[in-house]
Chain A
């Protein structure tokens, strides 16, 4: 980071001040902070899963998990989430090649696939609501709706973020700020896919048994 000759030395040759010190690396500091944020986000999901585990059997005479989940439908959503992550991966590869068109193009693909996922989820819950399977029916349904839709809300937020980043890449190119945000968005998007794996396993697969 700095060499001895840029430092103020005492008469005994001890370096006391570092004039060449340039502080921290912006991108690594930003992404580190984002990792910390994701830790807190993971705790949010952990708490929701805990609440779901406690309340899953509290159906109060209403529908239980096996009555309402459709694992094959959710598998379709899984395919969309994973394809979206793959597309985002290609977008990051294009970032390494410093290709604006590549980053924006692949991100648009990721965005469309993510929007497809959200569309399927909205379709599923609209169907439930139509049948009167609403969160106010029982504690199980409350936790089912809240857990799945909390993930959905994260996905929606990711889509808005992608829109902003596509604009920023087009407008500012690969500035330090933009690259730091692209990397954070990558972590965010991959993290939501990991969370979806948990949702799919705990709610849709386990629930169907």
Chain B
């Protein structure tokens, strides 16, 4: 039943052959050399420091939600860098390839990237940024913060949590591998059917794209089950629904979206893979296939996915704004309702991604109105944040800067979104860079909030603050880059420039394209200062240590335990009395973090099974991509066997004796006494 393939195939190696290594492409060779040098440097450094055992015990086999969260964020940041390099290459190509007289280099007619390479770059850029950069960063933040905010020791299913991480990491590894072995999809991150079908994309590129997304989305679905169960089942005594912090609320709504929408993507991609592997006709142009079925299924996932990433961002802003306004959040109840409303409406707007399908005015009208409805709960949120800041004593710490920047982006991105919700305008600017500028505007809002979140919770996880001075530089260069890249892009969209152009026919657009390139240079500066911020912060960490309440005016439960958070989170489970429990305790003078006695703590044991399942999924994806059937079958059986072996493991937890907890807490106490405000969590900033 397998399809007949063009090109060679062998039972042992599948489609794999040495000619699949793109050694003739100087750019790829350069990237390969960079990856090898970087990889060797990391391996060398770990070996030199003798840290392999530490790495294995403390990170690779961990089930600790904070460490898993940190690894998610690290993965997201690495992929963010990769996605940024893609963006840089695209901007440079468009600037170099404007007009018929533009010179060509490295085998390209204009610019330096031939169309096939350029197409792979924008496909990879979108896939990476959405699925492997923004999503892991937000999932990482939820991983770290949600169990702390509800007063739990860990996630509901710590083992499953690690499985989710390693699946996501292996999906990222597959995408990176496509650089050096075979090619990547050239059909856009959305996978434009029927271009993704075998006759039009006979290479392995689409397979890389398809299986990487498939593997990572299994990870995300598992993660969503975990977070929902944690929020529903693991709350501390007194943590009623009405007291749940807003970030936890948005995590709940966002994971309901993920749980219900990712299966749709899984099916859409499975049907596509049946087309490509078994010769079925779901989305083919002939024999009854329906390519708009793919487009509909993709966006039935795709639009909820947009809110899947934006809601945690709203949650982060909702945590940062009250802390630095030194006021409770305005309109808590409306914030909760708005989050749930956005999650609900997210399901009924997907068609606005392709108004040009020709579905008729009645359908267009419905989706247009539904899309505009999103503006209502979002507007409620904006006003709530504004009213929180109104007449507040605002402190412009770095997280607050990011939150305010995100608000500004939400305003512009939201308003252009309202324009695009009108079918008449949408028809005019369809597939133009105006649309590209709009959704980058929205994703940058998410990125801003995520950066704010990283700056905000970094001290909680590591026990010291990130450097303020370089942090501000990162922020301002990022703002400047955003304006200089995307204002010209909006303009070019109005002037009629379509998206995905490897060659720009209109020389008069060149100045604006050059301006965009200048914006990219500003982003490069932001990247430099970002690396510097992390370096400086680690170097000067002794001077920047913080107590339990890193910002002095924090409000929720995560600030009621030590910084860095001990692996058991809370020595004794806190009892919750108010919506902003920590603010309530501060107000009533209950800032002593010592319980009267310590008790035994039951904790999950580390396990290597998630890593093994991840590695086997990588092998499974690799086998499927290159059609190496023995490897596919072997890894599939391996995954099932690993799951069965794990199910037979009866020794999955252990107990920390009360005396040991007490000893660890006393040690942390001594350390904390050297920090201003340390153990008791008194405000570390003296109020003037």
Minimum Cβ distance to chain B for residue A89 (Å) = 23
Residue in B153, B274, B278, B293 whose beta carbon sits within 8 Å of that of A23 in the complex: B153
Within 8 A of B (CB), among A3-56: 7-10, 12, 14-21, 23-25, 28-30, 32-33, 36-37, 39-41, 43-44, 47-48, 50-51, 54-55
Contacts of A186 in B (CB 8 A): none
- A21's nearest neighbour on chain B, judged by CB, is B573
Residues of A within 8 A of B648 (CB): 168, 171
Q: Do A138 and B287 touch (CB < 8 A)?
A: yes
The distance from the CB of B653 to the nearest CB of chain A, in whole angstroms, is: 10
- Kindly specify which of A73-81, A110-118, A140-148 makes contact with the partner chain: A140-148
Query: Which residues 410-444 of B have a CB within 8 angstroms of A?
Result: none
Tell whether, in the assembled complex, residue A135 and residue B225 are in contact, meaning their CB atoms are under 8 Å apart.
no
| Complex A-B, nearest 9 residue pairs according to Cβ-Cβ distance, in ascending order | A58-B288, A139-B288, A142-B280, A43-B263, A136-B279, A21-B573, A17-B595, A47-B267, A60-B288
Nearest A residue to B599, CB-CB: A19
Please state if A139 and B572 are interface contacts (CB–CB under 8 Å).
no
* CB pair B575 A51 closer than 8 Å: no
B-contact bits for A157-189, CB 8 A (1 contact / 0 none)? 000100010001001100101000100000000
- Total interface residues in chain A, CB < 8 Å: 59
Q: Which residue on chain B has the smallest CB distance to residue A34?
A: B225
Q: Is B271 an interface residue (CB 8 A)?
A: yes
Q: Does A123 contact B (CB under 8 A)?
A: no
Is residue A99 within 8 Å, beta carbon to beta carbon, of the partner chain?
Answer: no
Task: Give the residues from 286 to 323 in chain B that come closer than 8 angstroms, CB to CB, to chain A.
Answer: 286-290, 293, 297, 300
- Interface hub of B264, B270, B280, B647 (most chain A Cβ within 10 A): B280
Chain A nearest CB, measured from B427 CB (Å): 25
Distance in Å from the Cβ of B152 to the closest Cβ of chain A? 8
Known A23-B234, A54-B293: A164·B644 in contact at CB below 8 Å: yes
Q: Is A154 an interface residue (CB 8 A)?
A: no
Q: How far is the CA of A51 from the CA of B274 in the complex (A)?
A: 14
Given A54-B290, A142-B280, residue A16 in contact with residue B225 (CB < 8 A): no
Instruction: Please determine whether B288 and A1 come into contact, CB atoms closer than 8 angstroms.
Output: no
A135 to B237, CA, bound (A): 55
23 examples of A-B residue contacts, CB within 8 angstroms: A7-B575, A15-B575, A18-B572, A19-B599, A21-B572, A23-B602, A29-B234, A33-B157, A33-B229, A36-B228, A47-B263, A55-B289, A58-B289, A136-B1, A138-B288, A139-B282, A142-B274, A142-B281, A143-B282, A146-B271, A146-B280, A177-B647, A181-B647
- Decide yes or no whether B6 CB sits under 8 A from chain A: no
Residues of B within 8 A of A1 (CB): 237
Contact status A138-B260, CB under 8 Å: no
Return the chain A residue nearest B284 by Cβ: A139
Q: Are the CB atoms of A40 and B262 closer together than 8 Å?
A: yes
B572 (CB) vs chain A CBs: closest residue:
A17
* Contact between A28 and B281, CB atoms less than 8 A apart: no
Nearest A-chain residue to B292, judged by Cβ: A54
What's the minimum C-beta distance from B305 to chain A, rounded to whole angstroms? 14
A24 to B152, CA, bound (A): 9
Pair A139/B290 contact, Cβ less than 8 Å: yes
Complex CA–CA separation, A40 to B223 (angstroms): 12
Q: Within the complex, what minimum Cβ distance (angstroms) separates A76 from chain B?
A: 26
Q: Are A33 and B156 in contact (CB under 8 A)?
A: yes
Contact (A29, B156) CB under 8 Å given A58-B289, A136-B279, A139-B282? yes
Min C-beta distance of B69 to chain A, whole Å = 19
Q: A98 → chain B, closest Cβ, in Å? A: 19
Decide yes or no whether B541 CB sits under 8 A from chain A. no
Which residues of chain B have C-beta atoms less than 8 A from A25's C-beta? 233
For A50, the chain B residues whose CB sits under 8 A away are 297
Contact, CB under 8 Å: A172 / B650:
yes
B640 at the interface (CB under 8 A from A): yes
Contact B233 A39 (CB under 8 A): no
Q: A134 at the A/B interface (Cβ < 8 Å)?
A: yes
Q: How far is the CB of A54 from chain B (nearest CB, A)?
A: 5
Q: Which residues of A sit under 8 angstroms from B596, Cβ to Cβ? A: 8-9, 17, 19
Contacts of B270 in A (CB 8 A): 146
Does A137 make an interface contact (CB < 8 A)?
A: yes
Q: Indicate if the CB atoms of A8 and B572 lie closer than 8 Å.
A: yes
Q: In the bound complex, what is the Cα–Cα distance between A12 and B584 (angstroms)?
A: 14
Q: Which residues of B contact A37 (CB under 8 A)?
A: 225
B294 closest partner in A (C-beta): A51
- Within 8 Å of chain A (Cβ to Cβ): is B369? no
Provided the pairs A33-B157, A60-B287 are in contact, do residues A21 and B236 lie with their beta carbons within 8 angstroms? yes
> In the complex, what distance in Å separates the CA atom of A186 from the CA atom of B216?
28
Contacts of A51 in B (CB 8 A): 267, 271, 282, 293, 297
B182 lies within 8 A of chain A by Cβ? no
Sample of 7 more A-B contacts, CB < 8 Å, known A138-B287, A142-B281: A21-B236, A40-B260, A47-B300, A48-B267, A142-B274, A146-B271, A181-B647
Contact B577 A14 (CB under 8 A): yes
Q: Could you tell me the distance between the alpha carbons of A51 and B269 in the complex, rounded to whole angstroms?
A: 13
Task: Tell me if B226 counts as interface (CB < 8 A to partner A).
Answer: yes
- Does the CB pair B228–A177 fall under 8 Å? no
Which residue of A has the minimal Cβ distance to B293?
Answer: A54
Determine the distance from Cα of A41 to Cα of B264 in the docked complex, in whole angstroms. Answer: 10
Known contacts A40-B263, A51-B271; is A18 also within 8 Å of B228 by CB? no
Residue contact A17 to B259, C-beta cutoff 8 Å: no
| Cβ-defined partner of A135 (8 Å) among B234, B274, B297, B597 | B274
The reply to whether B282 and A142 contact each other, CB–CB distance below 8 Å, is yes
Contact residues of B between 230 and 273, Cβ < 8 Å to A: 232-234, 236-237, 259-264, 266-268, 270-271
**Chain A residue at smallest Cβ distance from B279:** A136
- Which residues of A are found within 8 Å of B280, using beta-carbon distances? 135-136, 139, 142, 145-146
Contacts of A164 in B (CB 8 A): 644, 647
Quick one: closest B residue to A177, CB to CB? B650
> 1/0 contact trace for B576-615 toward A, CB 8 Å?
0100000001001010000111110010000000000000
